[in-house]
A and B are shown apart, each in its own frame.
Chain A
Amino acid sequence: MRVLKSLLASAALATGLAGAAMAEDKTKVGFIYVGPVGDGGWTYEHDQGRKAVEAAFGDKVETVYVESVSESNAEGPITQMALSGADLIFTTSFGFMDATLAVAEKFPNVKFEHATGYKQSDNVSVYSARFYEGRAVQGHIAGKMTKSNIIGYIASFPIPEVIRGINSAYIHAKKVNPDVQFKIIWAYTWFDPAKEADAAKALIEQGADVILQHTDSTAPQAAAKEAGNVVTFGQASDMSEYAPFPRVSSIIDDWAPYYVARTKAVMDGTWESVSTWDGIGAGMVGIGEISDAVPADVKAEAEALRDALASGEYHAFTGPLNKQDGTPWLADGETAADYGDDGLAGMSFYVEGIEAEIPSN
């Protein structure tokens, strides 16, 4: 269904834009979204970035987007967008990686930007945010606030970004609460409110009183609200409509400055393929207001942690840390490298203490 929707949407896009291609002086920026712009989370924030590009450049820019594009059939919509004369295309989900590279090869004059991936080429930049820094703050609050010592985690797909998040949250929850246990559910979807709600309910029924989510909709928040005594965190977007409780804080993705800067680079002719990975310090990851439902001392600690991560004084993955099987990963005081064998970019293992297995992708 999604395939059809996106195919039709891109067909409509192609015909609708044939006329607009006349206006050559306008820079055309395209966006490929994995969910609907109204998801209240991940895609919503990317679309805020698109709007920021429009606001920054006004008449000089034209933006187009296709929403709810299936990860397994992304080549069609991306090709359509390139054919319709886009100068710069942002593909905003991990699963668009190979499709983006394949299309980029056919359109060497179009610039591509792929979010959260790791494959770069001459006309494909990669960009991502260090969400795991935000997860560290969440883990701290979660470890302090849980009474049952069971923290539920709704994961999406077993990719490095999600695994980093689980590890970071676990490390920091464990640090403040040695008895903490993580229950992880893989939903195998980025966006399916009913399934996300079911997953949240299953975790709550099994005793979780804190729910962390790495899926895009606000459904788990609603499930927690109904349960009454369960803490949640906004994911990708502030989800402030559920504040001050159950949502006690959030990770906010702020893509706007990056999108504006990259569009500017295309306009100026200075665009180059780069790899960007920014965190709290650069403002790409924001920590949403920690609500008063969190005790004042915990809030102060969490804010101190946030500031230390932002300044670079503290790294979310600092040794001593072992891998799940007990083999040493980081020595005392050592911090994780971004790339390389056991680097963060390709992380495919849990840290010691997590009782679960990562599904093979």
Chain B
Amino acid sequence: MDLGQINPLLLLASLMVAATPILLAAIGEAVVEKSGVLNLGVEGMMITGAVVGFAFGVNTGAPSIGFVAAAFAGAALSMLFGVLVLYLKSNQVATGLGLTLFGLGLSALIGKPYEGIKAPTMAKWEIPLLSDIPVLGPIMFRHDPMVYVSLIIVALTWYVLTRTRAGLILRGVGENHNAAHALGYKVIRVRLMAIAFGGACAGMGGAYISLVRVPQWVEGMTAGAGWIALAIVVFASWRPWRVLLGAYLFGGISVLQLNLQAAGVPIPVEILAMSPYLITILVLVVISLRGNHGAPGSLGREFHATH
């Protein structure tokens, strides 16, 4: 064993890369669930974002266009879910699962011509001055732009949800849709917007896997990341900063355990392999022990407008 082989700076840098897809998907889903809708189609929207983002990235040569396209693709797919669930009152769980299956199939179809193609490289942003800070600089301030974008999205989500009127309405709709409706808020419109936001975030999260993390298109490449994101939302009790913590813990320990294995640490591999799941759940549950951290009151419930 030689822990000296693990470079903590490189480790922290790869932690952020490993966590970003889950973070994006989870923060989007947190908003959706805060509005009272459970969308289990995260995996399907991610994989669709991954392939559409990759296709646009390759064809235009610009990963940034790929990310925008992925956001639109994820949002478009989520609208399918939104219409089915909100207007046609279909079951949210079944429709969400259906969306995942549909997304997996659709992405395989779209992705056929893109197998084995190299992705355009995304330039790293070296934030002037800050990136030159010793030790911290290379970890924090020399990443591809999407890492910062994801952090900004988390901050904005927190701000909007907790500090603005729009956020209050969204939470109201999620806690008690009948009361919100009685007060004259457009429950369905609010939820549609939340679902679209969730879809866009999931799409970008998927594109981050195909454009930055791997980077190439392989069928089925999200390999369950969407489900991890869903779990993190629950264990983070629907709070943006805890979602960030959960995603970074999960991503971080996933990368750390691979490094520990390579360094030959004398901990049984099977324990290392399960550690990301175990530790993330433990930490988030312990944080949530005190206080009221229940799910949004109307989560998953069908909304019938009564006049």
State the A residues within 8 Å of B (CB).
1-2, 4-5, 8, 35-40, 68, 152, 183-189, 191-195, 197-199, 201-203, 205-208, 217-219, 222-223, 225-226, 241, 355-357, 359-360
Contacts and interface: CB of A to CB of B under 8 A. Distances in A.
Contact of A194 (B225, B264, B269): B225
B43 A1 contact: yes
A208 to B, nearest CB: 8
7 closest Cβ pairs, A-B complex: A38-B219, A359-B269, A36-B219, A241-B116, A192-B223, A202-B258, A193-B221
For chain B, what secondary structure do more than half of its interface residues adopt (helix, strand, loop), or is it mixed?
Answer: helix
Nearest to B259: A202
Interface stretch (B6-14, B191-199, B235-243, B287-295): B6-14
Interface string B1-30: 000011100110010001001000000000
A359 B265 CA distance: 12
Interface residues on B, range: 35 or more
B263 interface: yes
Contacts of B213: 194, 197-198
Contact of A206 (B104, B111, B209, B259): B259
Contacts of B18: 194, 198
Contacts of B226: 1
Contact of A355 (B10, B118, B264): B264
A189 B18 CA distance: 17
Contact of B220 (A35, A185, A225): A35
A355 B266 CA distance: 11
Given A1-B43, A183-B263, 12 more contacts: A5-B104, A38-B219, A39-B218, A184-B261, A186-B261, A202-B258, A202-B259, A203-B262, A219-B221, A226-B121, A357-B269, A360-B268
B158 to A, nearest CB: 26
A253 B261 CA distance: 29
Contact of A207 (B5, B14, B269): B5
A107 B199 CA distance: 45
Contact of A8 (B14, B101, B259): B101
A1 B264 contact: no
A68 B220 contact: yes
Q: Considering residues B11, B18, B116, which has the most beta carbons from chain A within 10 angstroms of its beta carbon?
A: B116
